[in-house]
Amino acid sequence: MTGPDDTRQFVLNLSCDDKPGIVAAITTELASIGGNIEESNQFRDPVMNRFFMRIAFWAPTRLTADDIDRALRPVVDRYEMRISLGDSARRPKIVIMVSKFDHAMQHLLYQIRVGWLDADIAAIVSNHEDSRADAEREGVPYHCWKVTRDNKAEQEAKLIELVKDTGADLVILARYMQVLSDQLSKRLYGKVINIHHSFLPSFKGAKPYHQAYERGVKLIGATAHYVTPDLDEGPIIEQETVRVTHAMSAEDFVAEGRDVESRVLAHAVKAHLERRVMLNGHKTVVFSK
């Protein structure tokens, strides 16, 4: 994204132990290279004494990400910061994984098409052929990899290779109904988002909305989280609920669930792509606009 006066936008994320002078030090260095801060968010975790910050800023186009990293290095070393720097000149790439239920995938495709999500789809991966026509209509490579107990490791190796070859920044499980292995979950930690068709932690299993219906619940929902080896227990990015009543059928619950799943996943993906999500142990810090 190019701004006024021949500048472009960067996003800096940083975390470190909380100490006096962090904000002043980092903003002074940005000013010294001609950076102009557009948005700044910060949070201190009082339990962990950990400081988190996200800064969106404009810098002269003559500066590369490496130039900015070198300029910030003295401050980074002094405060023992963990940082990442995103350059708006590079459009993020995603891989979408889906099984038979395609509503969440369709919503992502639409939001990318209209520009609300700023990303390129590197590929769509499925264990079924059902979504091939949609991928072809969008001009996206489609990979149908049938998964069995015997070939699971082989198929996951293909996914790793696909992510590497395409330079994908994020893998999205848009109702992909296969459990990723512990090895893959660890290797791609922080780079895989799953939509869980339940307002965690209740009603796990194959038919959560039917379970909710049988129990007469008044709220159902969905949870988007990072994938970890602990099934459906990864750091939560986004959640939403919707009110239901006794007069609704199980099919009504499913319909409401499809809508909320699609919204929650899209919002989680958007937050990740905009570098608004920072991992904090088993939790996340999610900065809103």
Strands 236-243, 170-173: parallel, antiparallel or unpaired by DSSP? unpaired
Do 7 and 99 share a domain, yes or no?
A: no
Note the pLDDT of residue 2.
53
Active-site option among 18, 69, 120, 232: 232
Note the pLDDT of residue 1.
59
Do 17 and 36 share a domain, yes or no?
A: yes
Do 82 and 152 share a domain, yes or no?
A: no
Q: Domain holding 43: CATH number? A: 3.30.70.260
Do 109 and 214 share a domain, yes or no?
A: yes
- Residue owning tokens 């006794």: 246
Do 82 and 167 share a domain, yes or no?
A: no
Pair 123, 109: CB distance under 8 Å: no
Do 108 and 225 share a domain, yes or no?
A: yes
Do 178 and 42 share a domain, yes or no?
A: no
Do 236 and 107 share a domain, yes or no?
A: yes
Q: What residues are paired with 285 via a beta bridge? A: 278
Q: What residues are paired with 124 via a beta bridge? A: 96, 142
Buried b (16+ CB within 10 A) or exposed e, 142-151: bbebebeeee
Q: Could you give the number of structural domains in the chain?
A: 2
Peptide bond into 74 cis (omega under 30): no
Note the pLDDT of residue 106.
98
Q: Domain holding 124: CATH number? A: 3.40.50.170
Known catalytic membership, residue 130 = no
CB neighbourhood size of 202 (10 A): 13
Name the token pair of 284: 């996340």
- In terms of Cα–Cα distance, which of 183, 193, 175, 136 is closest to 155? 183
Do 44 and 106 share a domain, yes or no?
A: no
Note the pLDDT of residue 50.
97
- In terms of Cα–Cα distance, which of 280, 191, 180, 271 is closest to 232? 180
Domain boundary among 36, 59, 87: 87
Do 195 and 242 share a domain, yes or no?
A: yes
Q: Name the 3-class secondary structure at 24.
A: helix
Residue 263 CB partners (closer than 8 Å, separation 6+): 107, 222, 240
User: Across the 289 residues of the chain, what is the mean pLDDT of every consecutive 10-residue run?
Assistant: 77 98 98 97 95 98 95 98 95 97 97 97 97 97 95 95 98 96 95 85 70 76 92 88 92 94 98 97 92
Domain boundary among 29, 56, 87: 87
Name the token pair of 234: 């990864």
Do 176 and 262 share a domain, yes or no?
A: yes
Do 131 and 260 share a domain, yes or no?
A: yes
Domain boundary among 59, 87, 115: 87
The H-or-E segment that residue 111 falls in is helix 103-113
The residue segments making up the domain with residue 12 are 2-87
Pair 237, 268: CB distance under 8 Å: yes
Note the pLDDT of residue 201.
52
Buried b (16+ CB within 10 A) or exposed e, 62-76: ebeeeebeebbeebb
Pair 98, 177: CB distance under 8 Å: no
